[in-house]
Structure 1
Amino acid sequence: MQAAQTQVAAHNQVAQAATEAAQSVEKSSEKASQSIEQQGKRLSDFATKVDYTLRQTGAYFHMGTAAWQGVLRDVQDMYIGINQAIKQLNADTENGGNIAMSLAKAEAYAISNAHKLDNVTLNNLNQAIDKAKQKMAQLAQEAANARAEAEKELLRAQGRDDEVARLEQQQKIEQLRKQQAAAQKSGNRDAANDYEAAIVASNKAFEERLRREAEQREQARLEAEQREREKAEQQRQRELEKQQREQERLEQQRQRELEKHISNQSVQVNMQTDFSRLSAAIQKRDDVIADAAAQKLLSELEHSILQQR
C-alpha cells in the first residue's frame, strides 16, 4: 500500500512538473491532450512521455534526492528541444529554410536519445528527418538535372550531338536502375528482372542507333565529297572554256590586226606606186619644158649672132 502511494505521488509530481513545462511550450507547439488531475488520474500526453523516459532510464531512482529536480528538468528540456527541432525541421522542409542545419540538429537528437524516447515522439522525429532527407535529395536531383540540361545545351551549341545522346542515354539508364532498385527492395524479382532486360535492350538500341547514324554520316560525307568533286570538275570545265574563248578572242583580234596591217601595207604600196608614176610624169614634163627652153634659148642665140653679122 505504501509503495503504491509512493508511485502515485511520483506520478503526480512528474505530471505537475511536466504540465508546467508543457504550458511554456504550448504557444509554439501542439496543445497537451488533457490536464492532470490529482490522485492518479490520467496524465497529459507530455507528462506521459516524460514518465516513459524516466521509467526507461531508471531515473525514478533519484526521486527524493537532491538530484531529482535536475533529472526531471533534463528530461523535460529534452522533449521540449526535440519538439521544437521537429517543428523547425518541418517548417524548413516545407518553406525552404536552412534544412541542412535543422536536419543536423534533429539527427543529433535522434542519435543520442533514441533509446529514451517514447514511440510517438521517436516516430515523429524520424518522419521529419526522412521528409527532410527526401527534400534534400529532391533539391540535389533538381540541381543535377539543371546542370545536365545546361551541359547538353552547351554540347548542342558546339555541335557535339553524339555526346548529348550519350548523356541522355546515361540519364535514362540511371532512372531504370533506380526503378530496378525499388523493385528489388520491395521483393518483386520479376519486376527487377524486367528492368534489367529493359536496361540491356535500351543499351543495345542506343548502340545500334549510334552505328546507324555513323553510317548515315559517313554516307553523307561521301556524297558531299562527290558533289564537291563534281562541282570542282564543272568549275574546271568552265575555266577551260573561258580560257578557250579568250584564246579564240585573242586569235581573232590578232587576225584582224594582221589583216589591218596587210591592208595598210597595200595602201602604202599603192601610194608609193602612184607617187613614182607622178614623179616620172613630172620629170618627163620638166624634161620637155627644159628641152623647149633650151631650144628657144639656142634659137635666140643664133638669131642674135646672125643679126650681128
Structure 2
Amino acid sequence: MDRLRRRQVFGPDGYPVAAAVIALDGPVATHTHDFLELAVLLEGRVTYATPDGDRPLEAGAVMAVRPGDWHGYADQHDPAVIANLYLGPELLHGELRWLLEVGDLGRFLLRGGVAVDGLDDPGRHRVRERVDELSRVRAQPSRASAVLAVGLTCAVLGELGEIRLDEDHRPALSPIVRSVLLLIGRRPAHPWTMAELATEVGASVSHLHREFRGQLGLTPMAWLARNRAELAASLLLQTDRPVGWVGAQVGWPDPNYFSRCFRRAYGISPSTYRRWNTISPAAPGALTPPFTH
C-alpha cells in the first residue's frame, strides 16, 4: 500500500489546499492519505478500486476519499486524466464550514464515495481549468495565496454542487446536526456523551439522535467513532509514536478498545494499518503529485 502524507502535498507549513491534473500512464497502486481528496475523471475509463470493491468509471465520474481510506485505479481502457483536489479535513470545521449547509455537497464531503451523477463536458472543462490553476498556487496561511486557493476550491466545488452527488433525497443539514459536527470536529478527543452533545446544542437526546441519523445515516456516537478513527489513521501515518499514544490522542486511551474501534472502521488493527502503509510514495505505481515538496 502506498501512502501520501499531507506534508508532502501541502508542504511543512503550507495552507491545507492543493490540486493536480494527472495523466495516468498505467495503473495507480492503491494508496491512502491523511487528507480529503476529491477526484474527477476528466477523460478515459478506469476501474476504481476501493474497500467496497472494484467499480468501472467513465469520464465525468466524481469521487470523494475520506482521510484514512484507500483507493486506486486499474484496468485503464483509454488514456485517462484525473483532476484531484486535496483538502485538509479541518477546513470543514473552519473556513469552509458553511459547506455543511449545502445538502448533497456537504454529505458527499462528509461520507465520501462515488457521486450518483457525473459532470458533463462543459463542467469537466471548467473543473480542469480551475484545478490546473490551483495546482500552480503555493498557498501559505495568512497570505493572499490562501485566499486564492480557497476561491479556486470553491469554484471547483460549485461545479460539483450542480450535480446530484448523494443518492439520498434529503434537505440540507439542520443547524443542530451542523453544530454537533463542528463540536466533534473541533474536540474529537473529548469524552462526549449523547447527553452532553444534546445539552450543547439545546436539544433532547431523542431529537438529536433522530435528526442526526435521519440526515447522515449515522448516530452521533457512530460519527464520533468515525471521526476519531480518521484522525488516528492520520496520526499513524504522520508520526512514529506508539500506537497507544495515538489512541490516547484521539480519545481512546485504552489500547484494546482503540484497536477494536479502529478495526471496526478499517477492518484491520492500528499496528497492521501502519505496517500496511510502509511503501514510499515514490515506489512504482504510486500516485505522486508533480508538486510534491
- TM-score range (shorter-chain normalised) is under 0.3
Q: Larger % of strand: which?
A: 2
TM-score using structure 2 length: 0.21
Higher helix share: 1
